[in-house]
A and B are shown apart, each in its own frame.
Chain A
């Protein structure tokens, strides 16, 4: 447990200094949102209808970039091998990376929402608590499989292609649930009314956190 914090601290120190993971994701998300706005002419559309898709498409793509970056740092100087040599269960190394990625992604989402609301003149604040629940749950699952897959993809020739190729199909249920639940909330539903989706996401989170925790040591090259 304390090692988990040590691992997290290491990632935070590095990230606070270089900010490359969060900045990469944030810039990408903003670009997507701005591009979307041009494509759909703001004002003429119902933002509430479009918002879930827009937000989640940008997070899903940005997430892939951030996940890859977090392992590029580990790959430099074979640090991952150094971690494997540490007297700690490899599953804990996985949890450390996954938690870091979850927090980085959530940070990006937290910054994106107000900017999104501002740019599209959309009142997102009254939905905030429900949105926070949905985004947190979905981000956990996305980063859970994403951390495992980026550890795998990082060793491959075209990792920028391979990670989305692995990540997107597996995350389909997550993306559907995220968009549907977010859409429901923006359309005035309560959390209880979208609880079916949240349970599905919860199941996804639990299953893939557990499996990845157990299987991670095989994902690291011998």
Chain B
């Protein structure tokens, strides 16, 4: 990769009581890279993103994000990253503009009104910015949540299953926005179980099943058909040894 590491995880694992959500794994992400992580539900994708987003502490291993240790410089890390999850993080009692104003101020974005205008333009919501978010359709809310996520120009954008629950048109629009965000400067990690969507955008694809990172390859070396077979095989193999995904027991 040659470029500065944006994510550098060594032996990262996460355990909930007796349940192992993530087995120790290594992950590197270079600046400007777009990594798609594929995996079925319960594979540990969300857990991995939450650890990278500083929302969870890993049970073991080292994580450095943009050269910083999230457990020590959590605030500095959070200033430069962003997470798009299934939830939009938007206040329905506030207008679209007020939502971005709030988050922009929390992130201390400079020249905020201008930046907000820019961002609205990018996601095509300029005409609706004075409307309450509660009145937005799901697709519009999703677009606004992405606008919220890159408002502060994060160097690392984490996307957790952004395609779930989107109709084809909204999914198409999302694809366009994501392609625009993949500008060679910003790094992105997207989890999904949608193979075509995931492969379409990424530079690198990884497979996570049963909390194990079983595959990691640059996009140019992957043929879509082979990949699908690999993914299904990995999923099948994992099912044989994978513990069920119920949580229990004490411990963090």
Chain A residues engaging chain B, CB cutoff 8 angstroms: 2-3, 6-7, 9-10, 13-14, 17-18, 73, 76-79, 81-89, 222
Contact = CB atoms under 8 A, between A and B. Distances in A.
Nearest to A86: B106
A3 B103 CA distance: 10
B53 A85 contact: yes
B117 interface: no
Nearest to A5: B105
Q: How large is the interface on B (under 10, 10 to 19, 20 to 34, 35 or more residues)?
A: 20 to 34
Interface string B59-91: 000000000000000011011001101011111
B94 A86 contact: no
Interface centre among B55, B76, B89 (most CB of A within 10 A): B89
Contacts of A79: 89-91
A160 B102 CA distance: 29
Contacts of A82: 87, 89-90, 103, 148
Contacts of A88: 75, 106
Contacts of B102: 6, 9-10
Given A3-B106, A13-B94, A222-B56, A85 B87 contact: no
Contact of A87 (B75, B89, B94): B75
A18 B98 CA distance: 14
Interface of B: 50, 53-56, 75-76, 78-79, 82-83, 85, 87-94, 98, 102-103, 105-108, 132, 141, 148, 252
B144 to A, nearest CB: 11
B55 A222 contact: yes
A77 B107 contact: no
A18 B93 contact: yes
Contacts of A73: 91, 93
A2 B108 CA distance: 10
A71 to B, nearest CB: 13
Given A73-B91, A78-B85, A86 B107 contact: yes
A93 to B, nearest CB: 10
B55 A14 contact: no
Nearest to A221: B55
Given A81-B85, A85-B53, A10 B107 contact: no
Contact of B75 (A76, A81, A89): A89
B103 A81 contact: no
Given A10-B94, A76-B92, A222-B55, A81 B106 contact: no
B93 A87 contact: no
Nearest to A222: B56
6 contacts: A13-B94, A17-B132, A81-B55, A81-B85, A82-B90, A87-B76
B43 to A, nearest CB: 18
Considering the complex of A and B, which 9 residue pairs feature the smallest CB-CB distances, nearest first?
A82-B89, A78-B87, A87-B79, A14-B93, A86-B106, A87-B78, A6-B105, A10-B102, A87-B75
A17 B132 CA distance: 10
Interface centre among B92, B98, B106 (most CB of A within 10 A): B106
Contact of A6 (B78, B79, B94, B106): B106
Contacts of B79: 87
